[in-house]
Structure 1
Amino acid sequence: MKKVVHNHWQKIESTTKGARRMKKLREMFKNEKGFTLIELLAVIVILGIIAAIAVPAIGSLIASTEDDAHDANALSLLESARLAYVSGDITEADSPVSATDLVTAGYLDGVPQDPETEDTYALAQVSITTNANSNQVTYEVSLGSADDGTSNYITDATKSALNDQTD
């Protein structure tokens, strides 16, 4: 019979320990604090400020990259026309020389693509002129998204002008 009492006593003791543990857990959760609404709003405001600074910076970086791509395409077209002229495959009478003509002659792999639309340029040509007094040849490149001249990215730019823009 003593064993039964002893077992009964253990049950009471374990129940008391469990109650104490539960009480401690409740006290811990009572003192546990979360984020307040003001703290969450402060974080959102800070993220908004960071976004307001970052978005325009990224936009100007993309625009700058597109301008550099136009300049690189123009230089490629200009150099191809210069090689074709020096080789005798085109003459000043052929001016303006289109990118398609340079592709056909094998001086370009393909008509350059507009980095903004990812289509080929509608206007991609090089004008060649020779100064009669100095025999200096001038190459002027024009690139645009419309061949009517309304949406030109680069109009009659020489190599030195393009190099100045890319530096």
Structure 2
Amino acid sequence: MLKLMKRLKGKKGFTLIELIVVIAILGILAAVITPTVLNFVNDARDARDEANASGLFNAAQLAYVTLAQDGNAPATDDYDSEGGSAIIQAIESTLPGSEDLTYTVQVGANGVEYIELKTDGGEIIRHPAVSTTTTTT
């Protein structure tokens, strides 16, 4: 035991090899973990965008019904979020934070048909989504 104590007495710190091994292990861990974390971040953004589109659609339907009951139903048209129309103002008063979003409301003969939301990444999310199924007879 005394021999070991004497031998270790003069040594302080880590060797260069030990440091290189630790750095290599950290690099491998970072390479493995980074894509996983980025996937979580992207999934969270997608979920947020879908929730925003759904909330906008519901707020637009409510705004349309409210305006229609007052005798001011919006005409069949596309309404841009920056246009300042009555339906956009009603959506913004119903849904806090919607004034920070870029979207278009499509109003048809029977009310709100869909919302197109432009995401931070430049994608367009349509809610409700258009069905791509086909039927054969």
Return the TM-score normalized by structure 1.
0.55
Aligned pairs for 1:6-85 (under 5 A) are 28-32=5-9, 35-85=14-64
State the partner residue of 2:94.
107
Contact kept, 8 Å, 2:118 with 2:124, in 1: the verdict is yes
Structure 1 or 2, whichever has the larger Rg, is 1
Determine which of 143, 152, 158 is the counterpart of 2:127. 158
Unaligned runs of 5+ in 2: 131-137
CA distance in 2, matches of 1:71, 1:91: 27
CA distance in 2, matches of 1:75, 1:52: 36
CA distance in 1, matches of 2:114, 2:88: 18
Cα drift, residue 80 of structure 1: 0.7
Moved over 6 A (4+): none
Cα drift, residue 38 of structure 1: 1.8
Cα drift, residue 152 of structure 1: 4.2
Q: Percent identity?
A: 32
Whose helix fraction is larger, Structure 1's or Structure 2's? 1
Return the TM-score normalized by structure 2.
0.65
CA distance in 2, matches of 1:76, 1:43: 48
**Number of positions where the alignment pairs a residue of Structure 1 with one of Structure 2:** 119
Contact kept, 8 Å, 2:104 with 2:117, in 1: the verdict is yes
Pairwise CA RMSD of aligned residues? 3.2
Query: Per chain length, whose mean CA-contact separation is higher, i.e. which structure has more relative contact order (CA < 8 Å, sep 6+)?
Result: 2
After superposition, what is the alpha-carbon deviation per residue over 1:51-78, rounded to whole angstroms, capped at 9, x for unaligned? 1111221122112111111111111110
State the partner residue of 1:140.
114
